Structure formats: structure tokens, C-alpha cells
Chains A and B, each alone.
Chain A
Amino acid sequence: MSNELPKNNAASSPGDPIVEIIEMHKWFDDFHVLKNINLTVHKGERIIICGPSGSGKSTLIRCINRLEEHQRGRIIVDGIELTNDLKNIEKIREEVGMVFQHFNLFPHLTILENLTLGPVWVRKTPKAEAEETAMFFLEKVHIADQARKYPGQLSGGQQQRVAIARSLCMKPKVMLFDEPTSALDPEMIKEVLDVMIDLAKEGMTMLVVSHEMGFAKSAAHRVLFMDDGEILEENTPVDFFENPQHERTKLFLSQILH
């Protein structure tokens, strides 16, 4: 499985940096939630972020599309630095797709409308073209037959695949995933991971908060371990799981692997 994927890591084939985070800090009031984060993501790279609950993983990736604001350091996405400039923020959000733990589909719109909303209103794509693209991506996540239904009529796994397709319709340059499978029943996890692996094969740049070891081993270039607001360890997937360096990484792995 793993050798099917182009495992060109940053060193062997450095794509241009698409996300650069430099000495970034974030506080929630007095609570120092992210401490001195440095991270460069290159085009086509796939990074898994794991770590105990509350360690700041979600906050970190949410800073990349400014769902959270950082207070120190710099974040540069696709050459644009994130500041309070609303226009820049909207421009970056067009290029950065996000998939949430709880899907967050729009319940009052059909699946098709969920998918065409962004392209039509943000990218100003003509409606017919947007629908064509939407159907293309629905095919891709194996769910085209549900296009006219409402999100509430779909299972969790189907909803999450729709959410992935919704992001893809914006033709993003980077995709962020925040624990995309942890709200799913076990039998639905695979259908979502399969879609993500397909995406990886096509060379999508992905930052994924997840503890799915199988996905990490088959699709990721790097695994980051976060604890207490810091990136403690960074390694290739195989070394990360089989030969962890840090004490806290070992403790964490022993907990998730039982």
C-alpha cells in the first residue's frame, strides 16, 4: 500500500512552501495554548498531527485559516501573511479547505447546494458549471446518488464524505482535517479514510489531526506530536510509531495503542 504513494518528503523533492508558521504563539485570555510553533508545509506534503486531547492540535490548524487568531509570530499561507485584513483572510480561506470533526454541513440545503454554495458565491462560478463540478466530486466520494437529499438524511460517514467533497469543490491548495473520523461509528471510518487516501494519491497537500495510524503510515510524509501547546516531536510515520524519541510520545502511543 504505502509504496503506491509518492513519498517525496520535503528533503528529496521540495515543493514550494504553501504554509509557513514562524515562531507563532497564541493565548486564550491568559492561557498560553500554542507556544513557539514553527512549521513549514510544502506543496504536496501530508502531515499528521497527533497528541493528547487539549494539547492544541485543533487550535493550531484553525489558526491556518484564521478561525482562530494568533497573537505573536507569523503565519504565511500561499504567500499571503495572515493579519487582521479581512480581504486577505477571505482570500486565504478560498484556498484552504477545512473538514470538521462534526461535518458541519448546512442542514437547510441539499447536498448539491452544500457543494455549489462556495463556488457560486465566493468564486463566482456559473451555477451550471458549479453543479457539474459538484457532481464530479460527489462521484469521487461515491455518493452522487444522494445529491438531492438533505444532510440529515445521510449517515455520519456519508456526511463526512460530502463535507470533503464540499471543500474540494473550492479547488483548495491545502486541506485541513480536524479529527475527521473521530465522531464516526467504527464501520464508517474506513469509507472516509479511503476517500482521504485517494486524495493523498492525487498529491493534495493535507494537514490532518488524527490518531489513525494506518492512514499515517500509508499516506503521510511526517507525523508531528503535540503536547501542552508545543510540537514535541517530528518524524516519519514509521519511525514515529515504531521508534518514538520523546518520553511523552512513548506514553501517548502506549495509551492509544493499548
Chain B
Amino acid sequence: MQEVRETTAMKPPVTRIGVLGWVRTNLFSSVFNSFLTVVIIYFLWKIVPGLIRWAFIDSSWTTTGAECRAAGGACWSVVTKNLRFIIFGFFPYEWQWRPLLAMIILFTLLIVSRNRSYWKKWLGYSWLIGLFVMGLLLRGGLFGLPPVESTKWSGLPLTLLLSVFGLTAAYPLGVLLALGRQSRMPAIKSLSVVYIETIRGVPLISLLFMSSVMFPLFLPEGITINNILRAQVAIIMFTAAYIAEVVRGGLQAISRGQYEAAESLGLNYPQKMRLIILPQALKIVIPPSVGILISAFKDTSLVVIIGLFDLLKTTQSTLSDPRWMGFSVEAYIFIALIYFTGCFSMSSYSRRLERELYRGN
């Protein structure tokens, strides 16, 4: 009889398992790593307790500015006491439930849309209806809702308006530009190239300035175009150019064989692109596209320079109130959290989408 070796019951060496094993392999694997670990622990020990004391123990949450100064810790009251102005800006106070409801509709739609199995016709219709209702809530003028001038739209609803419309309109436009740049028709190709390279050659700020200062000069007397719309167009044009370049990279990664197989089946150009090439190309460029969308989302805060009161600007105005001066750290932490939530959701969703799309093939 041969000796049967007990391989199934073997356990990994002790140092590799348990807390001690984790600490050893991750924190003290070499002299240099041990040194770094010690230094970092030292700094954390110096900083964290003070931070917790400032943010939570000594902090004031619902006081006046003066009381905050007396307490010495973080003054979250600057946020809580001014929350409605920071979020809704100049939207008439008694009607602020309208943008609130619009945002709730938007978030509901966004959350539902995260699930790919819901990407059916009814979701498209829901978005159309949702957009209509949101517009109605903001503008008013129907069903007994008093109209609210778009100059009053401000704060978080404005930021969301600029980003959501900006990004959803910029993406398809960017894809079209990328296709245009690949086109065999010289006119379309050079138009796309000129557009993309021009836009990429100027900063967003200058586009915003041009759209708000120069553009009206070319319009006939008496015709004005909404300031928000102009900023929106500038953001869309800017973002689309960057999306176009990313998508072009994806298109180049698709082998010629895929084009040829599609063509040899008799598919025409739109079918070939929509059914074969773009699904593969766009999947490849999910990570860089989301990178662009995230920076575009943050860049919407640049509209302050053309006088729009987005989330950043309403926060700044709050801070210029003498009663609340000096608490900018707290206020900025608050809006940083809002921006972070938006960006982090986008990037985690992109990772999830990638995982789902790569499953099976």
C-alpha cells in the first residue's frame, strides 16, 4: 500500500493568517515599510484626536455665529442655520419645496437607472415625464404654480441642472464628434477636427466668458438668451470635445475585422456603428469617460464667474454675512461633501458597470 499524503488538511503557515499575520505582511514587511508605518501612526496620533475634538466634541450645531466663536470648536451652525439659502439660494422661500421635489425626482430616477435590467422603454418615458415635471416645478406658470424667473434659480438645483443636462447632452455629442473625426467625408472630418482641437485649446472659463459676454453682442437688439442656457451650452460644448477624444481612442481599439464582419453581413453604417462598434468601443472607454464626467461636474462651479449663483456661490455669499464670517472651513467641508458624494457615486457606478459588462465575455 502506498502512503497517502494528507494534503487536504494542510493549513497555511501561522504568520500568514489572523490579525498578526495581516499586520506583519501589510505594515512591517520591510525596514522601510516599518519606518513609514511608525511615522504615519505618529502623525495620526497627533492629528486625529484634535480633529475629533474640533469636529464633534467642541462643535456647535444650531447656535448663532457669536455663540460659535465662544465655543471654539467647529461651527456647523453656519451650515444648519443657512441650509436653505446654501441649497436653494434666491428661489422664493415659500416655494422652495418645488426645487426640493424636483431634486427628489431626479435622484429617484438616477438611482432606478443604476440598474441595467431596468433599461427599458418605460424608463425612457419616465425620464421624459420626469424632466418635464422638474422643469415645470422650477419654472412654474402652469397648474397654479406661480412662475419663478430663471435668474432666481440657484444653489444645488442649479448645479445639478447644469451637470445633469451638461453631461447627458455632451456624451452623445462627443460620440458624434468622434465618429465625425473618423469619417471619410473630408468636410465632416475637418469640421470635427477643428471643433475638437479648438475647444480643447481653450480653458472652460474663456468659453463661459465668451458665451455670456461676447455672444450677446452678435445677437440682434432686444433678443436675449437666458444666462443659464448660455452657460449650459458652453459646458456641453466643452465636455463634448473631451469625450470625443476619449471615444476616438476606444474606436481605434476595435479591430478592422469587426468592421469587416459587420459590413460583410450587409449592415449599413448606422447599424454597424450602433450594434457592433460603439458597444465595444464605449465599454473600453468607461473609466476615462467617467473621469471626464467627474471633472465636468466639478467644473460647473466655474459658472460663478459669469454671475450664476450655483452651490459654491450661495455658500460664499453666506460667508460674506458678517454674522457668519470666519467659518468658511465648515461651510466648504459641507459642500465638498456634496461634491464628493456626486463624484464618488459616479466612479463607483462606473466600476460596477464595467464589472457587469465584462461578465461572460
Pair A108/B283 contact, Cβ less than 8 Å:
yes
Contacts of B15 in A (CB 8 A): none
Interface string of B253-275 (1 = CB under 8 A from A): 00101101111111110010001
Which of B266, B267, B271, B283: most chain A Cβ within 10 A?
A: B266
Report which of A86, A96, A100, A153 forms a contact with B261, defined as CB distance below 8 A: A100
How far does the Cβ of B186 sit from chain A's closest Cβ, in whole Å? 16
Given A100-B260, A102-B257, A121-B275, A107 contacting B265 (CB threshold 8 A): no
Pair B258/A98 contact, Cβ less than 8 Å:
no
A interface bracket (residues with beta carbon within 8 Å of B): 20 to 34
Q: Bound complex: CA of A5 vs CA of B267, how far in Å?
A: 34
- What residue of chain B has the Cβ atom nearest to residue A97's Cβ? B264
Pair A150/B260 contact, Cβ less than 8 Å:
no
Given A104-B258, A118-B267, A150 contacting B360 (CB threshold 8 A): yes
Q: Bound complex: CA of A27 vs CA of B266, how far in Å?
A: 24
Pair A96/B280 contact, Cβ less than 8 Å:
no
Pair A106/B264 contact, Cβ less than 8 Å:
no
Pair B264/A96 contact, Cβ less than 8 Å:
yes
Pair A117/B264 contact, Cβ less than 8 Å:
no
Asked if A93 CB lies within 8 Å of chain B CBs, one says yes
Contacts of A105 in B (CB 8 A): 261
A residues 66-109 near B (Cβ < 8 Å) are 67, 86, 90-91, 93-94, 96-98, 100, 102, 104-108
- What residue of chain B has the Cβ atom nearest to residue A152's Cβ? B361
Asked if A122 CB lies within 8 Å of chain B CBs, one says yes
Contacts of B360 in A (CB 8 A): 150, 153
Contacts of A93 in B (CB 8 A): 263-266
Q: Bound complex: CA of A96 vs CA of B263, how far in Å?
A: 11
- What residue of chain B has the Cβ atom nearest to residue A99's Cβ? B264
Contacts of A107 in B (CB 8 A): 280, 361
Given A67-B260, A100-B257, A106-B258, A122 contacting B361 (CB threshold 8 A): no
Contacts of B280 in A (CB 8 A): 106-108
Contacts of B255 in A (CB 8 A): 104
Q: Bound complex: CA of A96 vs CA of B268, how far in Å?
A: 15
Pair B260/A118 contact, Cβ less than 8 Å:
no
Q: Bound complex: CA of A108 vs CA of B121, how far in Å?
A: 22
Contacts of A90 in B (CB 8 A): 266, 268
Asked if B141 CB lies within 8 Å of chain A CBs, one says no
Contacts of A150 in B (CB 8 A): 360-361
Contacts of A170 in B (CB 8 A): 265-266
Asked if B276 CB lies within 8 Å of chain A CBs, one says yes
Pair B361/A118 contact, Cβ less than 8 Å:
no
Asked if B279 CB lies within 8 Å of chain A CBs, one says yes
How far does the Cβ of B61 sit from chain A's closest Cβ, in whole Å? 52
Given A106-B261, A107-B361, A118 contacting B283 (CB threshold 8 A): no
Which of A91, A108, A117, A122: most chain B Cβ within 10 A?
A: A108
Interface string of B324-361 (1 = CB under 8 A from A): 00000000000000000000000000000000000011
Contacts of B257 in A (CB 8 A): 100, 102, 104
B residues 190-242 near A (Cβ < 8 Å) are none
- What residue of chain A has the Cβ atom nearest to residue B262's Cβ? A106
- What residue of chain B has the Cβ atom nearest to residue A98's Cβ? B264
- What residue of chain B has the Cβ atom nearest to residue A87's Cβ? B268
How far does the Cβ of B287 sit from chain A's closest Cβ, in whole Å? 17
- What residue of chain B has the Cβ atom nearest to residue A93's Cβ? B266
Pair B263/A118 contact, Cβ less than 8 Å:
no
Contacts of B276 in A (CB 8 A): 106
Q: Give chain A's interface residues, CB within 8 Å of chain B.
A: 65, 67, 86, 90-91, 93-94, 96-98, 100, 102, 104-108, 117-118, 121-122, 150-153, 166-167, 170
List 17 A-B pairs, Cβ < 8 Å.
Answer: A65-B264, A90-B268, A91-B266, A94-B265, A97-B264, A98-B261, A100-B261, A104-B261, A106-B280, A107-B280, A107-B361, A117-B267, A121-B267, A122-B266, A152-B361, A153-B360, A170-B265
